Chains A and B, each alone.
Chain A
C-alpha cells in the first residue's frame, strides 16, 4: 500500500499536460475503487466463513430504485457478528447509499427493528449465526417505507402519545423533597412493561393493527398498563387511563394472536398486559344493579 501512495504524485505530474483536472480525479477514484475491490476480495478470502444477506431496496426519489428489489451482499463472518454488523459492513464496503436506522447497537435505543428472515427482530440483538443464510432483511411490514430499510414511524409515535405515556399522580407529596415511594411488589408488577424501547416490532407484527389504523397497538397499550398499574398515580388517574384504553379501538381490538409477545425484543408479555387491562376495564364498568 505505501509504495502505491508514493507512485501517485508521479502519475499526476505526467498526466498534467494531457488531461483535465476532472479526468485526473476520476482516474484516482478508479484507482482507489480498484484498490478497495482488491481489499474486499482479500477480506472475503481471508475470512473463514462468509454470509450472504439479501436486503430490500427502495427509494422513490432515485430512478433505478423506484421499483422495490432485493440486493445481495456477501459479508465476511466473525464470531459474535450481529445482523447490524453485516448491514454496516455492506454499507461501508459495497453501497454507501444503503439506508437503515441504528444507534446504540445494544438493544436500548430501539432504532433498528427490522423484518429479518420473516420475523420482526432488532438487527443489533440478532446473531448472524442463529439465522439461515442468505439472511433476508426487510423493513418492518405494515409501515410505509421511506427508503430501503427505513420506515415511517410517525403513526406508531402518535399511538404511543395517545395513551399519555407520562407519570401523572393525583396528588403530590407535601414536602418538596419528599420521595414518591413505590412498594417493591408494585414495582415488580410494572417492571416488565417499563422495558419498552419504542422499536415498533410488536405493532408491525400485529395483524389487527395492520387492518385497523386506529387501533392503539400493543406498545401503546403496554405503556398505558405501565402507568395504570402504578399505585402512586391514584384511582382517579387510573380511571382516566382505563377510559382511554377501553374505547372501541383500544384493548378490545386485541384478538390474542400473541404475535406481539413473540417478537418483542425485550420479552415484554404484551398480550398478558392487554388481557389484564381488559379485565380491569370490565371490573370498573360492570354493575349488577
Chain B
C-alpha cells in the first residue's frame, strides 16, 4: 500500500533479520530460479558459438575442433571452476526446495515446512562440499 510519508524501515527489506524460514525459502527459490534462467542463456550462447558452424570461415574448412578448445580454455580458468561449484549449489537448492514446495502444494507436512527448508539447506551444503574435489581437480 502506498504511503504518503516515510515509515522508515518498517516496511522494507531492511527487516530481513526478522524474516521467518518460509520467507527465506521463498526469497532463495526466486533468486536461484533467476540464476538458473541466466545460466541457461549463457550456456546456450557459449555452446552455439563454440561449435564453429559458420560455413564461410577458414577455420571450419581447416577442421579445427572449436568445441574442445573452447571448453578446455574455460576449464583452465579457476573462476569458472568456482562458478561451477556455485551453479551446482544453486541447482541443488532449487531442486530440494522445489520438492519441498511440491509437498506444500499437496498439503503434506505443512506444519514442518520450516524444518524441510532447513533440511534442503543442509543437503545443499553437504552436496556442494562433496562436489568441490571433483570440480576443482587439476586447477588447484
Q: List 27 A–B pairs whose Cβ atoms lie within 8 Å, in order of A's numbering.
A: A60-B5, A68-B8, A118-B15, A138-B7, A138-B10, A141-B7, A142-B11, A144-B3, A155-B1, A213-B1, A256-B26, A256-B104, A256-B105, A257-B22, A257-B26, A258-B21, A258-B23, A258-B113, A258-B114, A259-B23, A261-B110, A262-B22, A269-B110, A271-B110, A271-B113, A279-B106, A279-B107
CB-defined contacts of B105 to chain A, threshold 8 Å? 256, 275, 278-279
- How many Å lie between the Cα of A155 and that of B15 in the bound state? 24
Q: How large is the interface on A (under 10, 10 to 19, 20 to 34, 35 or more residues)?
A: 20 to 34
Indicate if B90 sits at the interface (CB-CB under 8 A): no
Q: A144-B3, A256-B104, A258-B23 are in contact. List 14 more A-B contacts (CB 8 A).
A: A56-B10, A60-B5, A138-B10, A142-B1, A144-B1, A255-B26, A256-B22, A256-B105, A256-B113, A258-B21, A259-B22, A262-B20, A275-B104, A276-B107
Residues on B lying within 8 angstroms of A by beta carbon are 1, 3, 5-8, 10-11, 15, 17-18, 20-23, 25-26, 101, 104-107, 110-111, 113-114
Other-chain residue from B5, B11, B20 in contact with A58 (beta carbon distance below 8 A): B5
Residue of B with least CB distance to A282: B105
- How many Å lie between the Cα of A215 and that of B110 in the bound state? 22
Given contacts A68-B5, A68-B8, A258-B22, contact A269 B15 (CB under 8 A): no
Contact with B along A261-272 (1 / 0, CB 8 A): 110000001011
CB-defined contacts of A272 to chain B, threshold 8 Å? 107, 110
CB-defined contacts of A197 to chain B, threshold 8 Å? none
CB-defined contacts of A119 to chain B, threshold 8 Å? 18
The majority secondary structure among interface residues of chain A is mixed
Cross-chain contact A207 with B1 (CB below 8 angstroms): no
Residue of A with least CB distance to B100: A256
Contact with B along A196-207 (1 / 0, CB 8 A): 000000000001
Given contacts A145-B7, A275-B105, A275-B110, contact A210 B1 (CB under 8 A): yes
Residue of B with least CB distance to A144: B1
CB-defined contacts of B1 to chain A, threshold 8 Å? 142-144, 155, 210, 213
Residues on A lying within 8 angstroms of B by beta carbon are 56, 58, 60, 68, 115, 118-119, 138, 141-145, 155, 207, 210, 213, 255-259, 261-262, 269, 271-272, 275-276, 278-279
Residue of B with least CB distance to A211: B1
- How many Å lie between the Cα of A275 and that of B20 in the bound state? 19
In the assembled complex, how far is the CB of residue A19 from the closest CB belonging to chain B, in whole angstroms? Answer: 44
- How many Å lie between the Cα of A119 and that of B23 in the bound state? 13
Other-chain residue from A141, A142, A213, A257 in contact with B23 (beta carbon distance below 8 A): A257
CB-defined contacts of B114 to chain A, threshold 8 Å? 258
CB-defined contacts of A56 to chain B, threshold 8 Å? 10
CB-defined contacts of B110 to chain A, threshold 8 Å? 261, 269, 271-272, 275
Other-chain residue from B10, B17, B111, B113 in contact with A141 (beta carbon distance below 8 A): B10
Residue of A with least CB distance to B23: A257
- How many Å lie between the Cα of A278 and that of B105 in the bound state? 8
Cross-chain contact A141 with B5 (CB below 8 angstroms): no
In the assembled complex, how far is the CB of residue A192 from the closest CB belonging to chain B, in whole angstroms? Answer: 12
Residue of B with least CB distance to A278: B105
Cross-chain contact B107 with A275 (CB below 8 angstroms): yes
CB-defined contacts of B7 to chain A, threshold 8 Å? 68, 138, 141, 145
